[in-house]
Structure 1
Amino acid sequence: MANKKLSYKDAVLSKEHFSVTWELVPGRGSTEPAQDQVIETAKLAVDDPRINAFTITENPSGKPAILPYPLAKQILDETGGETLIHFTCKDKNRNEIESQLHAMNRSGLKNLLIMTGDYTTEGYAGRPKPVFDIDAVHTLKMIKKMNQGYEIPVRKGTKKLNETDYFTGAVVSPFKSTEPEQMAQYYKMHQKVDNGASYLITQLGYDARKFDELRRYADRYELGVPLIGNIFVLSLPVAKMMNKNLIPGCVVTDKMIRDMEDEKGKYPDNKKRQLLRAAKLYAVLKGLKYDGATIAGHGMSYDDLCWILDKGEELLLDWQEIAKEFDYPMDNGFYYFEKDPATGLNTDVPVDRSKTGHKRNSLFDRMFGLVHKLVFKESALFYPMVKFFAKKIDKNFLNKPFTWFEYYTKTFTNECRFCGDCVMHEIGFQCPMSKCPKSQRNGACGGGRDGWCEVYPGKQKCIYVVMYEKLKAHEKEYTMKLRYAPPCNWDLYKTSSWLNFFNERDYNYRKDE
């Protein structure tokens, strides 16, 4: 055991230290045993120098629970322990997000893991209306601006607020089965790092080759941020839920379910098998040169965690052999790198994607692309003429009928939601406000499976999967990691996005604050 306990930030950024966070789920209620247990658990483990922070979840699985901030503050006040707060975008608009950020900064809560969040599933008197006003990339950028001293409009110009000191990270999933879905994850990962993520935590999975893939991808493209692996002490009932994607984004394959069922029949002490699996994954992650691990599990005690850490260190010398036990590929799953037959992991050679992951564009796609090429680029043939008439129409009686013509046309062709700040020409003519239940303007969330939307599996493809497939047909899919779309400006709601574009009011001309 190390002699000195590092702060969470120092532990994550250290090249010599393997950081550890312990995930605690506070549950629904405010004075229930679950909330008291979070505090008592922190008191037990706070002096252990191996445990750098306690991770507190925010409304996992889209169900209501106590917000993590009061518990994080209580842990800080009563024990001095640090927390890593899950901060999601799903239940609050951008003003509420900013308000909570101001409040947490004043309370001394500095460590945040920024996530989109699970789609809402239940609440008082039925299923609640989801919010998803801004996405994880927007939130990271907002916090980056707050750390630099956020400039806000006042009556006479602007005012610069005092700088905050947030240490923010983001989530990425290497556990995707199709090329378009996996590449959409990686391209959004670039966006998250570019806009302020200081570290990355993986989604949950049990495929060592995928963990290795992410490590190699991050090194190949010099992302320059620490990678933290996700470990869950997995029971068979929870594994079956993950297998059905009932816990969105967590991947447990059919083969792993069969192996776990065999284990249950063979070994009387099933809990010890669960802890051993977690310890082995700890050793594999450390062997793969990950920078840390976040460890979770229902009913896991401090003694259980210590056993995992001690056993994981004991197994470290054999991590390459142990990695072969985590051989749970998804059916016909995509990998970014060629397989290394000697280790069962990857080589540094990317697979040939020149003939995969795309499809022919439809007649509608080609028509929309042609219109955009002829009209909506400054270099386009008809751009000057259309812009001239757009400025004229904008200020006379034709504005309203023109606006409704655009709305009904785009509603028929693209299910337009009339936001007035349109980005769908950048997303393969998919509307993120109508076709993405989470209104993601900067890439896919992590909850989808096999290319399908998390909310409508088997019925609707993720719009960023569709985008990748269309752009790949023109060898332009790399633009997915270069694009950034600011939040929708709801001042433009029920106005013409075409008039807003030509009159320089939409996001293309607006400074993103």
Structure 2
Amino acid sequence: MLNFFRHLEHHKFCILVEYLTSSKTHHVVQNIASFSAFIAIADRLHSDHDMAPLEASQHYPESVDKVLHFAGKGRDIQDFELFLQQAKAANINNLLLLTGDKLKEHCHGQEGPPRTRYLESVNAVMVAKRHGGFHLGVAFNPFKYAEAERDAQYLKLHKKLKAGADFIITQLGYDMDALKQAKAFLKHYHYPQKILACVMPLSLARANFMVKNKVAGIVITPHMLKVLADEKQVGLSDRVYLRCALQILIFKHLGFAGVHLSACHKREEQMLLESYIEQYQHLDLVALEALWNSLWQVKTGKEFVPELPYYSRQPTSSQLIKYQQLHFMHEALFESKIAKGVGHFIFKASFWEHTPAAKALLKTEFISKHGVVGCESCGQCRLGDTLYICPETCPKGLANGPCGGTTLDRCEFGDRECIHSVKARLAKAVGQTDVLKEKLIPTVPIKVRGTSSWKNWYLATET
């Protein structure tokens, strides 16, 4: 059996063909043109209740190596631990670990069921690495055009790689300059991890669907829509597959390890793509890029870039003052030797084990912090590692950095600015960027939530 990860290690360009668990098509190809092909099984892309990728993998030939997606949306660390055990038992060791886009049945938690939280890919990588025996992929979205939003993505990529990711798959996108920047980033920081680009034959129908439904993290500009519409009107729809073939060949020349091919699982689609790859694979990079730019009618290089609104790109004075005040309080009350010693002495008393005292302490902590930072009594306060911007104010509860679904600094949920853009902007202003790049913040266990982080902090402190 051809081995996906060995292909990466031996610098053999390959194609991961994505299959949805909701699809009834189980045709599998092992080669597309001269490139080896493998199976990638997506996790809950069609609906929140899709069949699990691990279960779906049983419907595909054992002779083809597979990469299973695992999206952390609506899942906790215990769910992931179980998944790892099951994957190991099924002899599947290639995983793509994602935080995931928002669940369609996401609950905000103000009323009714508890709020939905998401297991971050950083935390999933950390856990899987401890288990051992897995080849771990992570997603990365380079198509970010507001400065803080882009910085936040790259800061989190540092964390994913530090946590132990073995390979990277980018978000779907068509801005070749942004993809080149991602490749240059790995070279600049001497990261050995391999990178694959996500590609899709982009038809007008698919582009309109993504724009209409605001598919998280995907940039489709008005220029792109016009080009596709004009082509369809004059009967040039086959260019959809020509462009995809050109993109694949360009990535090979650029040194990418391969591509993750979406929405192309039918044999007739693959054969059309294959025919274009074979027709143009003799061209060098300059000729391929020239043809790509010609098909997209590129003149300025900005055709794939969304229109940027003008607004201040600096933290406000109130944000800076709040950071300085909270940093001073944190250092004095939680980091100094005296504070640690006194706190440990106070909270080790059995008095705090009694229910009335525990409830009073939790209520006091919540009242003192909720109005200031949005505390939700997580029991494992991470403010010192997040520049005093509470990760609980992220709808997904992400502490290590953003998901890939933001748009020009706006949260995927559309009702706020992404807190991780705020953090990135603030970190640059106060010289704390390394905190957002280096500190791996562990996930909060369910059993800890609803307890006092003050008590937990001091009792965990060595005196």
TM range (shorter): 0.7 to 0.9
RMSD: 2.9
The Cα shift of 1:238 comes to 1.8
The Cα shift of 1:226 comes to 0.6
Q: Is the CA contact (8 Å cut-off) linking 2:67 and 2:96 kept in structure 1?
A: yes
- Give per-residue Cα distances to partners, 1:438-475, cap 9 Å, x unaligned: 211211111111111112x1x21112111112211112
User: 2:245 aligned to 265, 271, 279, which one?
Assistant: 279
Instruction: Report the equivalent of 1:25.
Output: 20
The Cα shift of 1:82 comes to 1.5
Distance verdict in 2 for CA 1:322–1:370, change over 3 Å = farther
Query: How far apart in 2 are the matches of 1:83 and 1:48?
Result: 19
- Give per-residue Cα distances to partners, 1:37-89, cap 9 Å, x unaligned: 1x2x11x5469872331111110165321222233223234xx1122111111
User: 2:389 aligned to 430, 452, 456, which one?
Assistant: 430
User: 1:97 aligned to 58, 71, 80, which one?
Assistant: 80
Query: How far apart in 1 are the matches of 2:15 and 2:424?
Result: 35
Paired letter, 2:171: Q
Instruction: Report the equivalent of 1:493.
Output: 449
1:67 lines up with 2:52 in the alignment: yes
Give the structure-1-normalised TM-score: 0.79
Structure with a larger share of its residues in helix: 2
Give the structure-2-normalised TM-score: 0.87
Instruction: Report the equivalent of 2:367.
Output: 408
1:89-488 superposed matches below 5 A: 89-122=72-105, 131-132=116-117, 134-147=119-132, 165-243=133-211, 246-265=214-233, 267-270=234-237, 272-297=238-263, 300=266, 301-311=269-279, 313-317=281-285, 318-322=287-291, 324=293, 325=296, 327=301, 328-331=303-306, 358-362=315-319, 363-378=321-336, 384-385=341-342, 388-391=345-348, 394=352, 400-433=359-392, 435-455=393-413, 457=414, 459-488=415-444
Q: Is the CA contact (8 Å cut-off) linking 1:419 and 1:493 kept in structure 2?
A: yes
Structure 1, 305-314 or 92-101: larger mean CA deviation = 305-314
Query: How far apart in 2 are the matches of 1:395 and 1:26?
Result: 48
- Give per-residue Cα distances to partners, 1:366-387, cap 9 Å, x unaligned: 43222113222236x7555555
Show structure 1 runs of 5+ residues with no match: 28-33, 148-164, 335-354
Paired letter, 1:180: A
Query: How far apart in 1 are the matches of 2:434 and 2:449?
Result: 31
The Cα shift of 1:204 comes to 0.9
- Give per-residue Cα distances to partners, 1:331-357, cap 9 Å, x unaligned: 4669xxxxxxxxxxxxxxxxxxxx965
Q: Is the CA contact (8 Å cut-off) linking 1:199 and 1:226 kept in structure 2?
A: yes
Distance verdict in 2 for CA 1:49–1:8, change over 3 Å = farther
The Cα shift of 1:230 comes to 0.9
Paired letter, 1:110: N
Distance verdict in 2 for CA 1:233–1:59, change over 3 Å = same
Show structure 2 runs of 5+ residues with no match: 107-111
The Cα shift of 1:394 comes to 4.5
1:12 lines up with 2:13 in the alignment: no
Structure with larger RCO (C-alpha < 8 A, sep 6+): 2
Give the aligned length: 443
Q: Is the CA contact (8 Å cut-off) linking 2:17 and 2:265 kept in structure 1?
A: no
User: 2:65 aligned to 58, 82, 86, which one?
Assistant: 82
- Give per-residue Cα distances to partners, 1:191-250, cap 9 Å, x unaligned: 111222111010011111101101111100111111101111111122123335622112
Structure 1, 99-108 or 325-334: larger mean CA deviation = 325-334
